[in-house]
Structure 1
Amino acid sequence: MRDALEDQLQRRNISPGDFSELMIRLLDRGVLCRDESRKEAELYDRYLQTSDLVEDYLSVLQIRLLHEPRFNLLRLFPPGAEAPGLADIDASVHTGLRQRLSQQEVALILVLRAEYDKALREGEVDEDGQVMLSLEALNLSHRNLLGRPLPESAVERQHLLRRLRQLRLIRSSSDADPLDGEGWLTIRPGIISVVTDSALAQLAGDGQQPADGEGED
């Protein structure tokens, strides 16, 4: 198998080391987006040259790869996960195939997906499929849809945004705080690939219920 792989790589002028770098990055991060950085652009283009080899390699591990050419995005889903993920917020959804998303992270991702869909309906999506959202609007939407505000601690709020940047779901300044009404973030189109329509519909249904338990865990 190794000899066959190296033979295929040689035909495409890709070294085994370069292929290994691509696979390690994918398995470690679980996501690759071409417009994130020069390095990710290089790795994404390398994937395009070796897509069949990458997918064969991952299939042995029962890992699913979602490729969204419109957004130059690759995302991995671990064995047993539904793609798109987060359909069941109690499922063992992993990022980078290693870390489980916290309930707060899942909740915020669902809210962002709802805001993205709203912008789609209203035609407020830019040519790159991205949506601008004020941090004030994010906090208000979180309260309206989930019946509770974002975490009180600024450190927790900034940690949430940092995790979502790592997942290539948003862009925001490193010191952005969702309770700072002056700030903005950008919701990236990859949000569609991690939240199913059924999960979004469930959120909309729940959001119509009175928030009697607001502020409770």
Structure 2
Amino acid sequence: MKHTLNLWRQELGEVPESVWRQTDLGVLILADNGLTSLSPDIGQLHRLKTLDLGHNALTSVPEELGELTGLSDCLYLHDNQLSRIPDSLGNLTGLRYLNVGENPLTTLPEALGRMSGLIEFRAQHARLTTLPDSMGRLRSLRELWLRGNAIESLPSSTANLHELRHLDLRENSLTEVPEPLAGLPRLRHIDLRSNHLGRLPDWLTLMPSLEKLDLRWNRVDPSLPLIGELARLGCVVLT
């Protein structure tokens, strides 16, 4: 059984030193505490499986976070003031869920591609314009949530995400459906609401698993023959 320490919304301001001495912790929840910094001593918690640092005011996280190689369930870094993610996070090769959304991030590190265990990655409401090429190495990724950025294109390596099922690209700056998606065999849901799309590529009808394509609040003509063809193939198209 995982040893859990839940300090959610305790108005801590800073983490008590005694926390870092609890090296048997499996789950540590420090969300919503007004934290502005973290001690490098966090790297001592080698048994952690889940770490929640969301809803704080962190401007950085220590490189020692990458020493928590036992993290396998979840790492929440969302809703802070992070302008960068440390390269050391690439050491967390067993982590399945990572949320870095709601931070002023303009880029993501190439080291992200080393996190080969990721199944779900969230970077919503940041300031990203693109993704690192290394994203294509996340061969286990099933869900990618990127709503509310300024993404104009996806790297060609996205074509390697063969396990991807759900892609959320709402409220970005796309002018066309990203071509690297064309060959993704398991992609079921694509959310492209509130972009700048005007036309649709023919290859959409060749996607074998596509079940739902959301195109609302774009400039796509709902009378396009391609939309009718997608509907006949069993895909729900929202315009």
TM-score (norm 2): 0.25
Q: Which has the higher contact order (CA 8 A, sep 6+)?
A: 1
Task: Say which structure is richer in helix.
Answer: 1
